[in-house]
């Protein structure tokens, strides 16, 4: 592939699998995450596998921090050609208990953070006449999700942002798609209230048993599709919400 990619939330779960997959395919990847030490550790491990990965710390909701991280990525690897936004914050509370602070934080990380990363990366793609953007949204954006009004609303925003950018950026050779995961076994998934304790183990087993493919997702499922969407072969796919969910929609 030989492209320059930035993956947010790259130190864990889905983002980490995407970094590995893109880098294994030949991309040079900037792995961006909230915890700079975690980003550095993950990047060092991947460099140990012979991959070209640099770790960068930034809170995606902080415009100046994202700008600084992208400058560092450009200086190290070159102009950004691929941006994958996997950084996310999932909180749970019944609608009437959601504080204004939690609402604003969840929207800031999931939606405004995606906006910052994309708006700051797209000029490189326009200048280069080629670009690939994959946002990681959530099936909650399609179905809603009990106790996640803030999270599902923010992810709904990510889906519409993705579709709108596809309309605006296609003329520059840039495709923009979103993958809305459903139940992918990652630290975030395992930290959700329904996965806690003995009942949690049963809940997880039951969820897998209900799945048409009889298993939950793994980060590599999302990474494989993301890598395809970032390839030259996917140049005619844009504005799409691509379910990678084993047939699970609710």
On whether the CB atoms of residues 17 and 222 are closer than 8 A, the answer is yes
- CB nearer ligand NAP, residue 60 or residue 165: 60
The footprint of ligand NAP on residues 39-58 (CB under 6 A) is none
Instruction: Round to the nearest angstrom and report the end-to-end CA distance of the chain.
Output: 35
Question: Measured between alpha carbons, how far is 134 from 178 in angstroms, rounded to an integer?
Answer: 5
Tell me which stretch binds ligand NAP (CB under 6 A): 72-80, 117-125, 180-188, 242-250: 180-188
Count other Cβ atoms within 10 Å, centred on residue 241.
16
| Total residues interacting with ligand NAP, rule: CB under 6 A | 29
Residue tagged active-site, from 151, 172, 236, 249: 151
- Two tokens at 120? 């700051």
For residue 249, indicate whether it is catalytic.
no
Dihedral of the alpha carbons of 36, 40, 42, 46, in degrees to the nearest 10? 150
Interface pick for ligand NAP out of 4, 28, 33, 46 (rule CB under 6 A) = 33
Question: Whole-number minimum distance, CB 224 to ligand NAP, in Å?
Answer: 15
86 in contact with ligand NAP (CB under 6 A)? yes
Interface with ligand NAP includes 5 (CB under 6 A)? Answer: no
Least distance (Å) between residue 129 CB and ligand NAP: 29
Q: Which of 3, 6, 53, 90 binds ligand NAP (CB under 6 A)?
A: 90
Nearer to ligand NAP, 36 or 172 (CB): 36
User: CA 175 to CA 235: how far, in whole Å?
Assistant: 7
**At closest approach, how far in Å is the CB of 190 from ligand NAP?**
9
Output 210 or 235, the one with its CB closest to ligand NAP: 210
Of the pair 17, 77, the CB lying nearest ligand NAP is at 17
Residues forming a β-bridge with 85? 8, 135
Long-range contacts of 163-166 (CB under 8 A, 24+ apart): 163/239, 163/241, 165/118, 165/122, 165/133, 166/238, 166/239, 166/240
Which residue of 4, 18, 22, 34 would you call a contact of ligand NAP, by CB under 6 A? 34
Rounded Cα distance between 173 and 27, Å, is: 18
Task: Enumerate the H helices of the chain as residue ranges.
Answer: 13-24, 36-48, 63-77, 100-107, 113-128, 140-143, 149-169, 187-191, 197-210, 219-229
* CB-nearer residue toward ligand NAP: 126 or 185: 185
Report if residue 225 touches ligand NAP, rule: CB under 6 A: no
| Chain positions contacting ligand NAP, by CB under 6 A | 8-9, 11-15, 33-35, 59-61, 86-90, 109, 113, 136, 138, 181, 183-184, 186-189
Q: What residues are labeled active site?
A: 151
């Amino acid at each position: 592939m030989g492209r320059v990619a930035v993956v947010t939330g790259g130190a864990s779960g889905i983002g980490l699998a995407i970094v590995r997959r893109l880098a294994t395919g030949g991309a040079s990847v900037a792995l961006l995450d909230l915890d700079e030490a975690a980003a550095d550790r993950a990047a060092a491990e991947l460099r140990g596998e012979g991959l070209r990965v640099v770790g960068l710390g930034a809170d995606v909701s902080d415009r100046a921090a994202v700008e600084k991280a992208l400058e560092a990525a450009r200086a190290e690897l070159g102009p950004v050609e691929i941006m994958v936004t996997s950084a996310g914050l999932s909180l749970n509370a019944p609608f009437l208990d959601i504080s204004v602070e939690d609402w604003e934080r969840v929207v800031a990380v999931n939606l405004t953070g995606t906006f910052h990363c994309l708006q700051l990366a797209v000029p490189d793609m326009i200048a280069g006449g080629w670009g690939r953007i994959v946002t990681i949204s959530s099936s909650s954006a399609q179905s809603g999700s009990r106790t996640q009004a803030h999270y599902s609303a923010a992810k709904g925003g990510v889906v519409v942002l993705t579709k709108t950018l596809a309309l605006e950026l296609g003329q520059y050779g840039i495709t923009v798609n979103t993958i809305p995961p459903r139940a992918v076994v990652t630290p975030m998934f395992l930290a959700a209230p329904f996965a806690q304790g003995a009942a949690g183990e049963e809940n997880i087993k039951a969820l897998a048993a209900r799945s048409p493919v009889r298993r939950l997702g793994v980060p590599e499922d999302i990474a494989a599709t993301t890598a395809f969407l970032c390839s030259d072969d996917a140049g005619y796919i844009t504005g799409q919400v691509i379910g990678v969910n084993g047939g699970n929609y609710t």
